[in-house]
Amino acid sequence: MRNSLLLILFTLFSFTLSAQNSKNEKAVIQTTIHCDHCKACETCGQSFQENLYKITGVKMYELDEKAMTLTVFYNGKKTNLDKIKTAITKLGYDADEMKADAEAYEKLDGCCKKA
């Protein structure tokens, strides 16, 4: 009985310690989106999703085309906001104060560029 109690306490302690080690963060990034279907765009949208999820630590993101914002949920112990913003600029989009990579911007579909 005593061993069972110790095992349960050890398990609970391990879960608590594990939860404290994860550093979940959320960031809202102002970006440049020039079409109303970027989430569903077969070329730009799919590339955006695939490349953003390649960043270790990025868990989820939400794109708001109307507000031109990207809300990113990530593990701050595995990545940081600068890495995420840099990855966004390499896809051809602005990320807050960081401007889009010119070559990547030119590769975007016409609908995803300024008219």
SS3 letters across the chain: CHHHHHHHHHHHHHHHHHHHHCCEEEEEEEECCCCCCCCCCCCHHHHHHHHHHCCCCEEEEEEECCCCEEEEEEECCCCCHHHHHHHHHHCCCCECCECCCHHHHHHCCHHHCCC
The sign one gets for the Cα dihedral 20, 76, 65, 48 is negative
User: Domain-by-domain residue ranges, the chain?
Assistant: 23-112
Q: Is the pLDDT of residue 38 over 80?
A: no
Q: Is the pLDDT of residue 17 over 50?
A: no
* 19 backbone φψ class: left, alpha, beta (φ>0; ψ -120 to 50): alpha
- The CATH topology of domain 23-112 is Alpha-Beta Plaits (3.30.70)
Report the predicted TM-score, pTM, of the whole model to 2 decimal places.
0.74
Q: How far apart are the first and last CA of the chain?
A: 73
Q: Which tens digits make up the pLDDT trace of 61-96?
A: 988 888 889 999 999 999 999 999 999 999 888 999
